């Protein structure tokens, strides 16, 4: 009887256009951070500004996920952003 090989774990692939809106504890305000990166794509004074700017970034890069993290590090919201419509 042949031994069965262990199953390989499935790796969840994330889009390179996904962004997080996270609080910046050092400077204050909110940062827009790319999935899997530490350096901020953008910064805003308010959470609403950061969310609006992140939506534009994700839309312009072809659509993806926008995830919002609160001041305690908990994921509070996630939105799927459609790509910007192509010009005819």
Residue 8 has pLDDT above 60, yes or no: no
Q: Is 50 exposed, middle or buried (0-12, 13-18, 19+ CB in 10 A)?
A: buried
What contacts 56, CB < 8 A, 6 or more positions away?
Answer: none
Q: CA quadruple 15, 61, 41, 65: dihedral positive or negative? A: negative
Residue 70 domain flag: yes
Return d(Cα 31, Cα 8) in angstroms, integer: 35
Residue 54 domain flag: yes
- Domain holding 44, by residue range, is 19-81
- H or E element that contains 47: helix 47-60
Residue 2 domain flag: no
Q: How many domains does the chain have?
A: 1
More confident position, 83 or 29: 29
Residue 11 domain flag: no
Residue 1 domain flag: no
pLDDT of residue 74: 94
Can you say whether residue 29 is alpha, beta or left, with left for phi > 0 and alpha for psi between -120 and 50 degrees? left
What average pLDDT does the segment 12-20 reach?
A: 75
Residue 6 domain flag: no
Q: Give tens-digit pLDDT for 22-76.
A: 999 999 999 999 988 889 999 999 999 999 999 999 999 999 999 999 999 999 9
Reported confidence tier of residue 88, pLDDT bands at 50, 70, 90: confident
């Amino acid at each position: 009887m042949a031994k069965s090989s262990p199953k390989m774990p499935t790796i969840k692939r994330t889009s390179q256009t996904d962004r997080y809106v996270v609080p910046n504890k050092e400077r204050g305000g909110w940062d827009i951070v790319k999935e899997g990166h530490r350096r901020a794509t953008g910064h805003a004074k308010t959470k609403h500004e950061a969310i609006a700017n992140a939506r534009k970034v994700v839309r312009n890069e072809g659509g993806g996920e926008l995830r919002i993290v609160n001041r305690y590090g908990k994921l509070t919201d996630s939105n799927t952003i459609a790509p910007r419509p192509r010009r005819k």
